[in-house]
Structure 1
């Protein structure tokens, strides 16, 4: 009797192992193709082949970003997707605050199709500095920018027109974004004026040119990652993601 039971258990175990053998290890870890965060549907890595370290460098070169942003900036941003897990993986927004505001430093990148969808100007908080922001804050009414990783959420029409809410994902760094009403929105002042030494600044929001803001927001909304890059030591020391 005991012998018969052991034979049955062995047969069932063999069958289970055989059925799992048809999947790669990544597929086994990603059998559930999606998960929900609030009312946002978020795809996991089964819908997108996340690049290895070497592939990130290859992707950086393929996107022709060499003269647009440092590799470290791109690497930190893309690596954040893998670490955070709870964001869509197809499109990422990278804001490079190591660059002058007179240069394009707001990038929307389609990782799946390997395309740069938008490359444009972006404003930073008026109390964060002149052309290059160097002073950051998470405090309400600081009128400063906050670096780090954000998840985009829903859109709304407000004081600045069509806008996109941001959820700061780094505690003590940018997690008061909602309380501060830090959003992506359009501004007629987000393009350099002839002879200007710096771009006009915001109250802390990453404001972009009004003529493309609606299109950009519609591409990056609903659970995608937005990363604001800085080399400031205070952020690098505090962040648990980069």
Structure 2
């Protein structure tokens, strides 16, 4: 009997010794591990992804993340090439893959991770009706031009307060100054025009914006800042030198 009790005690000891006693520390461990993984994931994100995920698109048109990534890559490469100042932090993006009835222009403060403006913007009359389809770098084509631009000085012309644009993509938009492709305000870029025509009006190739927003937008982005006019054109996307280098992480 004595031997049987001894054997039973031994079995009970070994079977219970494998049970883990839950303490506050062991309960907290999975939570702490999860937080560590989340912090590691955040650090591994690229600068572009970190900025994009911080942008607030509530009540405005959402910018496609892939378009933003391309715009940011070109912006960084323009800075590396000395085309933009080292402290430049404003990036304007026009997505001509969207309907002209959508607010497809964004002005973004990259330092503040904030969208300053989201606006309607026109494409050229020979680029398309509601949707942009054809692009040109040719004089009198009345078509929009794709690519990266550096904003220059302002002036008052036939379209009112306007902003000169220097095209940075050879063969795609480098004739912008010669063609007088500028940002300006226009009455045909409006919600009223959309209601009557099911699209906004079209320019002679200029990225025209609503009359009321022309001055504040131009005054914000003038003086050597970056504007990217995007469309999923395979030829342009594969040839632009500003989209070739690896992104800075």
TM-score exceeds 0.5: yes
Bigger Rg, structure 1 or 2 = 2
How many angstroms does 1:199 deviate by? 1.1
Contact 2:186 2:211 in 1 (8 A): yes
| Aligned residue number for residue 109 of structure 2 | 110
| Aligned residue number for residue 139 of structure 2 | 140
**Is residue 2:52 matched to residue 1:82?**
no
Contact 2:56 2:114 in 1 (8 A): no
| Aligned residue number for residue 120 of structure 1 | 119
Query: TM-score normalized by structure 1?
Result: 0.76
How many angstroms does 1:65 deviate by? 4.4
How many angstroms does 1:195 deviate by? 4.5
Query: Gaps spanning 5+ residues in structure 2: where?
Result: 1-42, 244-249
Q: Between Structure 1 and Structure 2, how many residues are aligned?
A: 192
The whole-number CA distance in structure 1 between the counterparts of 2:44 and 2:166 is: 27
More off after superposition, 52-61 vs 99-108: 52-61
Please provide the CA RMSD for this pair: 1.7
Contact 1:124 1:144 in 2 (8 A): yes
Output aligned runs, 1:155-234, within 5 Å.
155-192=154-191, 193=193, 194-234=195-235
How many angstroms does 1:173 deviate by? 0.5
The whole-number CA distance in structure 2 between the counterparts of 1:80 and 1:240 is: 8
How many angstroms does 1:202 deviate by? 0.3
How many angstroms does 1:127 deviate by? 0.3
| Aligned residue number for residue 10 of structure 1 | none
Query: TM-score normalized by structure 2?
Result: 0.74
| Aligned residue number for residue 32 of structure 1 | none
How many angstroms does 1:237 deviate by? 2.8
1:170-221 per-position Cα deviation (integer Å, ceiling 9, x unaligned): 1000000000000000011111321532211000000000011101000000
Larger fraction in helix: 2
**Is residue 2:51 matched to residue 1:59?**
yes
How many angstroms does 1:81 deviate by? 1.6
Aligned-partner SS, 2:46: helix
Query: Is the alpha carbon distance of 1:77 and 1:65 closer, same or farther for their aligned partners in structure 2, counting shifts above 3 Å?
Result: farther
Query: Gaps spanning 5+ residues in structure 1: where?
Result: 1-50
Contact 1:134 1:232 in 2 (8 A): no
1:99-132 per-position Cα deviation (integer Å, ceiling 9, x unaligned): 1000000111011111111001000000001112
